[in-house]
Amino acid sequence: MNSATPIALPKNYIPEWTKLDFDNNSNLKTDIQNRISVTIESDFKKALNGIKGDMGTGENFSQIVRLALAYFYSDIFRDKIKDSYYSVEMVKGFLDANNLTSYTAIHEIDVKFYKLNDASLFRHCWLIIQSAWYFNSEYFGHHQHIDYVNHYLATGEKLPIEQYNFDQDYLDKRYNTIDKAKIKNLPINGFTLVSQWYYGILFLVCKELQLPVSHFIVSQSDNREFNPITKTSRQLRSLAPFKIIECDIKSAFPTFLDIETGAKLKDHIYNNLMLSEGITRGKAKILFVSVCNSGKYKSKEETKAFFVDCGYTRTECEHLLTLTHNPKRKFYSFMTEYERAAIEHFIFINDLKRCGRLHDAVLFIDNKIKPQIFKVNPNCDFGCKELNRPVYRESFSLSDKRLRYAYVSSIPKGLNLVMTHEASKPEVKGVANGFIFYKEMYQYINAVFNINDFNADYSTFLLRIKTMLSSLKFLNKKQTKPEVIYLILQHIRANSQYVFNVKALSLRVIKFENSPCLVTIKERNYGTIELMVFKKTLDFLLARNEAEKIVNTTNNYYDLFCLMQERIINDDYGYLDQVIIKGHRRNNLLNYAIITKFNLLCTGLLRQRRKPVKNEPFYDRMIKGLFLKSLSLKPQQQNAFIQKGVKKYERELKEFNRLINNRQIAQQLFLIICDLARQKSDLNISENSTVQNQLKADLIAMIEKKDPSDFITGAIEFDKRFKTNIKKEVPTNTDLENAFDTDLNKSIFNQLTIEEASFRGEVFFKEYLQFHAETDFKEKIIPVRKIKEIFNFLELDF
């Protein structure tokens, strides 16, 4: 019966000395507030300089994290702090949302965006908080490599290699190391691996910030440095809260042997071994190093045969044997000497003081500034690779953030993009309060959308993004670049209520297929000529409606002006009803009042046209007509009929004469509408301020539906209400020849006395004398001012 195959069960191996005193979601309000003081920056810096390492001494990391949180809320976070914000989880979220460093977090938390202050220790705070969150997270303390190694330590049995997801050759190497450690009774277990992993991350932080590493065990042996990074398992070095870069020597030992022998095989040795031995590149590297270091165990003939298989000539092999079989010095020492020189040279020429050495490589936290020189004399090439990549997860939610303005554009300013296209516009209707209105609708395309929206969901948001990108491609005739899309998404994230992962969404958005059918053609009859911002949408609507009201009112004044001018020119004072007033009646009460007043003055009619009064100018003709009509009546009725008819015609004639006399008043009313419409008339009408004031008082009374008051008070009220809002245009002076007064009698030199001129300086006084020497100027004797006597008082020394 076959025994059951052992299974690796995931397990956490976090030692007690690496655990923090709190969780990521623990509320540390009291601890943080107790540490906030005027000396928080110096306290934080002092603690960082003594960070606890694997030596067991130094400042506890939990206390450093508390100081980092206190520094964050003291010098970095500038908004109102809620009680729920006093945790590592929230602070990491704020740092991820507004990352002012050049570092890259592997895992990001999406929370409400706050604009942070770029304080002097922002980088330090960022690295400490990221590390603290990582140590408390699910990503630290367990790994399949640790499970396999720990199981072998505990039972001596190897777990199924086919289920192992990582480098199997390195796992076998670790098994051999464990066997040697058991022989030497060295303490090693899963907790040791996690402890080394923990201190390796802190050591990288110290190197990045150039902090002292006196509390870490760092030693030198055979030209190599041994530090927490070298102690960390290779499978765990890439697991960190931030992106890590590794620069290593390409084919280190073959490179150094090429330098010694003059061969040129460094790029071919491993390939030759792979072909000759039928092994992988990783095993070829292990085989080459093991043979080179086994001078005590292999004969010269065996070693020479191996070098021949690698591609070296016999002369080169003889020189190599002097290194591998040197009784006084190990081959390893020869190689590490070259290795140390190459690493030191690489660090120097690339100014990589912030890196940690890993034998034939260096590790450092990625800050977007990578080495530029990868070739080191005499013939050593370096490679560069990212050990880990960020994990991006899409998310979407709405925060409780309140924006300052009602409309926030989805595209920031400063990008070289065409965002709006407007078709040919119709005739301008008018301009007011920063708005311009047109007589008809015009079409336009706008790529931006308003990101101030509390009701948007993720599908709606994605559709708006896709529509925006489709419109940008249509307007710019090309695809929007990925870096521009990233900047747009960053702008939206920082200036909206939307909470999402910018990097994850940018990767998705870049793959969008732009659709021309999403390009929307809109219509409107207005535009803006000034930069205006509004806190509420209602404020914008009110401002636009107010501007449109002013434009409509002004146009109505102008239309009424044109109609009345035409009537007066044609001597037509009939009922005025041809004007069409646009807008609400309450916004045009003055127009209606002027029309009503004109009709009352000229026709006597208030609302509708009635049968007009007879305006027969010949009185005797009317009497003759009455006499003829009375002949058909009885004699006793004729006289009464004639008298009654004469009285009626006299009344109509008086009414007609009154209306005729009112035409001059109507002309004064026309002058009032000229002022309101800001127009000048060619009609020769003399202004009568008394009549105009009376008319203004009557118009105010008609608008307010009350009896007319004192005409002076009414005129003042009219001017205050209707004329103060009219901006008088400054006339342009086109007569430049007569724009300046050239009369020398009005010169400044004729306005000053010679004494006053002397006080204006030597140059002015010289020109003053020259001016009066060229003109017939009679010198006047000007009495010299008496110089006041100066008294010197005694100085008292107090």
For residue 3, pLDDT beyond 60: no
Peptide bond into 378 cis (omega under 30): yes
Query: 190 vs 300, which has greater pLDDT?
Result: 300
Task: Report pLDDT for 798.
Answer: 37
CB-CB contact of 223 with 248 (8 Å): no
Query: 636 vs 244, which has greater pLDDT?
Result: 244
Task: Report pLDDT for 699.
Answer: 87
CB-CB contact of 534 with 426 (8 Å): no
Structure tokens at 427: 């005739």
Q: What percent of the chain has pLDDT over 70?
A: 84
Among the ranges given (103-107, 180-184, 359-363), the one the predictor scored with the smallest mean pLDDT: 180-184
Query: 212 vs 11, which has greater pLDDT?
Result: 212
For residue 642, pLDDT beyond 50: yes
User: Is residue 670 left, alpha or beta, with left meaning phi > 0 and alpha meaning psi from -120 to 50?
Assistant: alpha
C-beta atoms surrounding 175 within 10 Å: 14
CB-CB contact of 601 with 567 (8 Å): no
Q: Taking every pair of C-alpha atoms in the chain, what is the biggest distance, in angstroms?
A: 170
β-bridge pairing 244-249 and 498-500: unpaired
Task: Report pLDDT for 651.
Answer: 67
Query: Which of 58, 49, 53 has the alpha carbon at shortest distance from 121?
Result: 49
C-beta atoms surrounding 225 within 10 Å: 16
For residue 796, pLDDT beyond 50: no
- Between CA 266 and CA 249 the distance in angstroms is 11
Over range 714-735, report the average pLDDT: 66
Structure tokens at 311: 């591609």
Task: Report pLDDT for 410.
Answer: 93
Over range 652-674, report the average pLDDT: 79
β-bridge pairing 420-422 and 435-446: antiparallel
Tally of CA atoms within 13 A in the half-sphere of 171 that contains its CB:
22
For residue 197, pLDDT beyond 70: yes
For residue 494, pLDDT beyond 80: yes
Task: Report pLDDT for 793.
Answer: 42
For residue 463, pLDDT beyond 90: yes
DSSP letter (8 states) at residue 457: -
Q: In the structure, how many helices (H) and strands (E) does the chain have?
A: 27, 13
Mean pLDDT of the chain: 84
Structure tokens at 209: 């910030």
Predicted TM-score of the model (pTM): 0.75
Query: 112 vs 263, which has greater pLDDT?
Result: 112
Query: Which of 379, 375, 355 has the alpha carbon at shortest distance from 366?
Result: 355
β-bridge pairing 224-226 and 361-365: unpaired
- Between CA 305 and CA 309 the distance in angstroms is 6
356 forms beta bridges with 363
For residue 622, pLDDT beyond 80: no
Provide the 3-class DSSP secondary structure of residue 499.
strand
CB-CB contact of 559 with 580 (8 Å): yes
- Between CA 98 and CA 88 the distance in angstroms is 16
Among the ranges given (17-31, 596-610, 773-787), the one the predictor scored with the smallest mean pLDDT: 773-787
CB-CB contact of 726 with 719 (8 Å): no
Read off the pLDDT of residues 345-385 as tens digits, 9 standing for 90 and up. Answer: 999 999 999 999 998 999 999 999 889 999 998 789 999 99
Task: Report pLDDT for 579.
Answer: 76
CB-CB contact of 304 with 298 (8 Å): no
CB-CB contact of 118 with 102 (8 Å): no
Task: Report pLDDT for 139.
Answer: 92
User: In angstroms, what CA-CA distances link 202 with 57, 132, 194?
Assistant: 14, 10, 13
For residue 617, pLDDT beyond 70: no
* Helices within 678-792 (DSSP H only): 689-704, 711-718, 754-758, 762-774
Length of the chain: 798
Task: Report pLDDT for 763.
Answer: 76
Read off the pLDDT of residues 727-779 as tens digits, 9 standing for 90 and up. Answer: 444 455 566 566 666 677 777 777 777 766 776 767 777 888 887 764 444 44
User: In angstroms, what CA-CA distances link 644 with 257, 605, 623, 651?
Assistant: 142, 25, 11, 11
Rounded to 5 degrees, what are φ and ψ at 430?
Answer: 170, 165
Structure tokens at 383: 């490679």
Q: Is the sign of the CA dihedral 284, 287, 293, 299 positive or negative?
A: negative
Among the ranges given (127-131, 142-146, 669-673, 720-724), the one the predictor scored with the smallest mean pLDDT: 720-724
Out of 103-107, 665-669, 770-774, give the one with best mean pLDDT: 103-107
For residue 202, pLDDT beyond 70: yes
Provide the 3-class DSSP secondary structure of residue 113.
coil
For residue 252, pLDDT beyond 60: yes
The amino acid sitting at 22 is: F
Helices 331-349 and 252-261 meet at what angle, rounded to 10?
100
Over range 121-140, report the average pLDDT: 96
β-bridge pairing 356-358 and 244-249: unpaired
What CA dihedral angle connects 388, 393, 399 and 403, to 10 degrees?
Answer: 70
C-beta atoms surrounding 611 within 10 Å: 5
Task: Report pLDDT for 629.
Answer: 61
Provide the 3-class DSSP secondary structure of residue 542.
helix
For residue 649, pLDDT beyond 70: no
Task: Report pLDDT for 302.
Answer: 87
Residue spans per domain, the chain: 1-242, 246-386, 396-535, 572-723, 743-798
Over range 213-233, report the average pLDDT: 93
Angle at alpha carbon of residue 272, lines to 269 and 274, rounded to 5°:
110
